Amino acid sequence: MGMLEAILITIATAATPLLIAAVGELVVERSGVLNLGVEGMMVMGAVTGFAAALATGSPWLGFLAAIVVGALFSLLFAFLTLTLVTNQVATGLALTLLGLGLSGMLGEGFVGFPGVKLANVYIPVLTDIPLVGKLFFGQDPIFYLSILLTAGVAYFLFRTRAGLTLRSVGDNHASAHALGINVVLIRYLAVMFGGACAGLAGGYLSIVYTPQWVENMTAGRGWIALALVVFASWRPWRVLAGAYLFGAVTIGQLHAQALGIGVPSQLLSSLPYLATIVVLVLISRNRRLTMVNTPASLGRPFVPDR
Amino acid sequence: MTATLETHGANLLEVRGLTKIFGTLKACDGIDLTVGKGEIHALLGENGAGKSTLVKMLFGSLEPNAGEIRWNGEPVRIANPHAARKLGIGMVFQHFSLFDALTAAENIALSLDDETPIATIAAKAKALSYSYGLPLDPYSLVGDLSVGERQRIEIIRCLLQTPELIILDEPTSVLTPQEADKLFETLERLRAEGKSILYISHRLEEVKRMCDRATVLRHGKVVGHCDPRKETASSLARMMVGSEVLSVVRPPAEGAGKAATLLEIRNLTRKPATPFSIPLRNINLSVKAGEVIGIAGVAGNGQGEFFEAVSGEATQPDAVTVRIRDKDAGHLSITGRRMLGAAFVPEERLGHGAAPRMKLSENLLLSRYATDRKAFLGSFGLVQGSAIVKAAQRIIEAMDVRKSAPDPEAAALSGGNLQKFIIGRELDRQPAVMVVNQPTWGVDAGAAARIRQALIELARSGSAVLVISQDLDELFEISDSIAVMHNGELSKPLPIAEATLEKIGLLMGGAEPGHVEPVAEVA
């Protein structure tokens, strides 16, 4: 295995959790809800995924547990913001704080345990192709799932009637309500999909990326995922491009340190946020781009009159 | 009553005792209404009379607290808009229920309850739109379209569901006169096809022109049924308001030719401040002492940007572009311009014209602390509470502001009463220059008449008054000349004696400023 291939594979591994969490949040935001609790849902997914995999010995049950806990955690957010109509920003921040604290407490007994490993895919002949075999045909199953997820979300949003309905709710919830669309129900489903994705992304961290549990192990990846959604101007394939770009920056930073290149790590880790600001400035100059891609009701509370 | 119903054949819709209660307010109180097949039925009433609440119940957006709806003689429960569409009720909303970020075809698809592919919908919508003479590009983005085009989408969307009853909520309030004519043709054609139309409006002339019958609402109750063609506009207005509406008197402006120019706009050009705003192009205008100049135009043609530049909400790089009483004011802030004797009333009442959670007296101080420093502020700038409350009381009495507490928060007032207070607050200063954006938007007829009369009186007492409005009837009522704003450009003001609805309408639609073409034939 060549050095380059190894680097590319680690980039994919770094990008996968960002991609999964960001694609989930993209669906949430397209429905008009801003859930800043991605970090909290991710870290909860990480701790339960690790614990469930350890207890059952099956990484798959670990992923399942991570997904369920992520969705349940987001259900709390949905109940508060959609039913009780609390402020979305404050509630999302509270969710992150709660997730970080709760996961630290629940995970105390799991620190130091070796995790359950997930085997990489092996397809005879294809995986053995020199240079690209392992990159394309020999990674972990969740990597492939993340690509399918992106494609699925892109298809759902822009090719199906249900996706159109979801986008309409994010664009103008009052109009959607007037047409008889159940705004609150659609947002509940979107938020829970986002939670499930964040949970899975967290489980990926503790089962595949670094198979162990460490407190706060998400290390800000939930925030990068949030930034990515804006960076990608709410388009799924651009989220994928962004996730790999940021994944590459993370890995590049490690290699640069190893080679003794003196780029301050703080600068590199701030790059995703700087890039997001640049993108925001650029798209806000273009009225059509903003209008077409930015969910106009994003973060606005909705109370249906009956 | 029953005799007139039978002449229209079977009833399509019958409503008995329909009631909707919001908290303690009976928005609709035992409403009876019948709509026959093939008739255009007008629903008349002031703002807050319960018209919109009633039709929302008919379309399933609101659930009635009591009463019965019969459709073709059968009692029905309309639980949601899907059920309404299934029965054959279509609705064109007042504030369009469209999605800016989606195409026309996608917007239409969202209100169809089956999974017809977008391409099929687009083709059908296009064919239907051309057959009704309302051409529509189904793949255009709604956000790029004019208000008139947006309404076409709403209408086509409604027609694609082949409804029996079409409800139109204030459809002409945002259209140019020519666009409105086009709409009337469409409605007449629909009537000829046997469809029924429930037409909500407070524009009496168009109701008289088109509608077969009318039901008048006041304070949530039906106060009368009539044949609008047999009524006069003033008799209809009397039914709506419940008392005589005072008609606005505009005495001729005296010596207008020689009067001094108090407000002058010179070559005002403004780049768009946000990607969503309209650039202003080389605007020139002068308003003399004693006259009211009206600025007409379809919403979103730069009126808001123009108002900001004139009021000082946005200052100008070149001071000479805005001159107030012969002083360059382009660099001055709002307060600076007020100190020169100008007063401004913005379009948005809550959050712009008044701070919603502050008392009326506090709102008075906020806009006049600088100009009336001596009256309102004592030594060391301390607020003179009693003087301000007294002045607020004076304004409340002068403008007949109705309120529930001695000095309520601005948000507690109804829209019309708050607008009377805001206008009164500025008039109370006797400003030399008064600039008002949408003075009577959403204000009921009685209060609107009072506001208009007050503006005319201010001008005749020697001030220059500039009124920006989308209500042409209003501008014709109060203005000495009318200019039209279109796409950031302002036409030359037409003296009221020369201005006709057709000329102004053409300018609103974008005919070249200053050159009024003869009325084009409507195909």
- Closest approach of chain B CAs to the CA of A279, in angstroms? 15
> Given the structure tokens 């050159």, which residue do they identify?
B515
Residues of A in contact with B97 (CB under 8 A): 172, 174-176, 178-179
C-alpha–C-alpha distance, residues B329 and A96, integer Å: 51
DSSP, residue by residue, B6-75: HHT-SEEEEEEEEEEEETTEEEEEEEEEEEETT-EEEEE--TTSSHHHHHHHHTTSS--SEEEEEETTEE
- Closest approach of chain B CAs to the CA of A303, in angstroms? 13
Q: Does B99 touch chain A (CB under 8 A)?
A: yes
CB A30 within 8 A of CB A54: no
Instruction: State the residue range of the domain holding B144.
Output: 2-241
| Highest mean pLDDT: which range of A188-202, A292-306, B28-42, B99-113 | A188-202
B435 SS3 class:
strand
CB A200 within 8 A of CB A67: yes
Q: Within this chain, do residues B251 and B273 fall inside the same structural domain, yes or no?
A: yes
A305 with B62: Cβ contact below 8 A: yes
**Between A169 and B449, whose confidence is greater?**
A169
Q: Measuring CA to CA, how many Å separate B299 from each of B174, B310, B438?
A: 7, 18, 10
C-alpha–C-alpha distance, residues B200 and B52, integer Å: 8
By CA distance, what is B84's nearest residue in A?
A: A180
B contact residues 247-306, partner A, Cβ 8 Å cutoff: 275-276
Q: What is the pLDDT of residues B161-178, one digit of tens each?
A: 889 999 998 887 667 778
Q: Within this chain, do residues B437 and B422 fall inside the same structural domain, yes or no?
A: no
Structure tokens at B97: 């229920």
Q: What sign for the dihedral angle of Cα B400, B402, B408, B409?
A: negative
Angle A133-A135-A137 from CA coordinates, rounded to 5°: 55
DSSP, residue by residue, B459-517: HHTT-EEEEE-S-HHHHHHH-SEEEEEETTEEPPPEETTT--HHHHHHHHTTPPTT-PP
- Which residues touch A58 (CB under 8 Å, ≥6 apart)? A116
C-alpha–C-alpha distance, residues A171 and A183, integer Å: 11
Which of A67-81, B263-277, B386-400 bottoms out in mean pLDDT, i.e. has the lowest?
A: B263-277
Whose CA is closest to B57, among B68, B41, B46, B45? B68
Q: Within this chain, do residues B315 and B463 fall inside the same structural domain, yes or no?
A: yes
Report pLDDT for A259.
78
Which of A59-63, A148-152, B117-121 bottoms out in mean pLDDT, i.e. has the lowest?
A: B117-121
By CA distance, what is B62's nearest residue in A?
A: A306
Q: Does B139 touch chain A (CB under 8 A)?
A: no
Q: Does A165 touch chain B (CB under 8 A)?
A: yes
Q: Within this chain, do residues B135 and B56 fall inside the same structural domain, yes or no?
A: yes
C-alpha–C-alpha distance, residues A240 and A228, integer Å: 9
Report pLDDT for B5.
43
Q: Does A281 touch chain B (CB under 8 A)?
A: no
Residues of B in contact with A292 (CB under 8 A): 101, 141, 143
Q: What sign for the dihedral angle of Cα A61, A65, A68, A70?
A: negative
Residues of A in contact with B276 (CB under 8 A): 287
- Which residues touch B340 (CB under 8 Å, ≥6 apart)? B324, B325, B327, B329, B332, B432, B433
CATH of the domain at B185: 3.40.50.300
- Closest approach of chain A CAs to the CA of B482, in angstroms? 32
Q: Within this chain, do residues B142 and B38 fall inside the same structural domain, yes or no?
A: yes
B141 with A292: Cβ contact below 8 A: yes
Give the number of domains in chain B: 3
Strand partners, B511: none
Structure tokens at A71: 């969705």
By CA distance, what is A169's nearest residue in B?
A: B99
Q: Which of A165, A290, A291 sits opposite B110 (nearest CB)?
A: A165
Residues of B in contact with A284 (CB under 8 A): 275
Q: What is the pLDDT of residues B73-91, one digit of tens each?
A: 999 999 999 999 999 999 9
Structure tokens at A31: 């429905």
Q: How crowded is residue A304: how many other Cβ atoms within 10 Å of its Cβ? A: 12
Report pLDDT for B211.
93
ipTM of the complex: 0.87
- Closest approach of chain B CAs to the CA of A108, in angstroms? 48
Angle B206-B212-B216 from CA coordinates, rounded to 5°: 75
Q: How crowded is residue B262: how many other Cβ atoms within 10 Å of its Cβ? A: 27
Strand partners, B14: B34, B70
Angle A54-A59-A65 from CA coordinates, rounded to 5°: 80
Question: Is residue B325 assigned to a domain?
Answer: yes
Structure tokens at B245: 């509406």
B101 with A288: Cβ contact below 8 A: no
Q: Within this chain, do residues B230 and B378 fall inside the same structural domain, yes or no?
A: no
Q: Does B199 touch chain A (CB under 8 A)?
A: no
Q: What is the pLDDT of residues B44-56, one digit of tens each?
A: 887 778 888 899 9
Q: Does A174 touch chain B (CB under 8 A)?
A: yes
pLDDT band for B8, please (50, 70, 90 cuts): very low
Question: Is residue B371 assigned to a domain?
Answer: yes
CB A83 within 8 A of CB A249: no
Q: Does A300 touch chain B (CB under 8 A)?
A: no
Question: Is residue B346 assigned to a domain?
Answer: no
Report pLDDT for B472.
86
Helix, strand, coil tally for chain A in percent (to 5): 75, 0, 25
By CA distance, what is A175's nearest residue in B?
A: B97
Domain boundary among B430, B461, B483: B430
- Which residues touch A116 (CB under 8 Å, ≥6 apart)? A53, A54, A57, A58, A59, A62, A207, A211
Domain boundary among B241, B259, B279: B241
Mutate to test the interface with B, among A31, A165, A168 (most CBs of B within 10 A): A168
Q: Does B497 touch chain A (CB under 8 A)?
A: no
Half-sphere exposure for B229 (CA within 13 Å, toward CB): 7
Question: Is residue B213 assigned to a domain?
Answer: yes
In the predicted structure, residue B443 carries a pLDDT above the cut 80: no
Q: What is the pLDDT of residues A233-282, one digit of tens each?
A: 899 999 999 999 988 888 887 777 777 777 777 777 777 778 778 877 88
Mean pLDDT of B118-144: 89
By CA distance, what is A172's nearest residue in B?
A: B99
Q: Within this chain, do residues B16 and B136 fall inside the same structural domain, yes or no?
A: yes
| Cα A242 → chain centroid | 12
C-alpha–C-alpha distance, residues A95 and A97, integer Å: 5
Report pLDDT for A195.
98
Question: Is residue B315 assigned to a domain?
Answer: yes
C-alpha–C-alpha distance, residues A267 and B512, integer Å: 56
- Which residues touch B392 (CB under 8 Å, ≥6 apart)? B360, B361, B364, B407
Q: Measuring CA to CA, how many Å separate A111 from each of A40, A158, A172?
A: 18, 43, 46
B110 with A164: Cβ contact below 8 A: yes
Whose CA is closest to B347, among B385, B270, B295? B295
- Closest approach of chain B CAs to the CA of A51, in angstroms? 44
Question: Is residue B499 assigned to a domain?
Answer: yes
B220 SS3 class:
coil
Question: Is residue B347 assigned to a domain?
Answer: no
Q: Within this chain, do residues B94 and B202 fall inside the same structural domain, yes or no?
A: yes
Q: Within this chain, do residues B63 and B169 fall inside the same structural domain, yes or no?
A: yes
Domain boundary among B241, B256, B277: B241
In the predicted structure, residue B256 carries a pLDDT above the cut 70: no
Q: Within this chain, do residues B214 and B358 fall inside the same structural domain, yes or no?
A: no
A171 with B141: Cβ contact below 8 A: no
Residues of A in contact with B60 (CB under 8 A): 180
Q: Measuring CA to CA, how many Å separate B24 from each of A129, B20, B21, B28?
A: 76, 10, 7, 12
DSSP, residue by residue, B322-349: EEETTEE-TT--HHHHHHTTEEEE-S-T
Question: Is residue B295 assigned to a domain?
Answer: yes
Report pLDDT for B3.
41
- Which residues touch B117 (CB under 8 Å, ≥6 apart)? none
Q: What sign for the dihedral angle of Cα B272, B277, B281, B282?
A: negative
Q: Within this chain, do residues B214 and B324 fall inside the same structural domain, yes or no?
A: no
Residues of A in contact with B144 (CB under 8 A): 288
Q: Within this chain, do residues B75 and B171 fall inside the same structural domain, yes or no?
A: yes
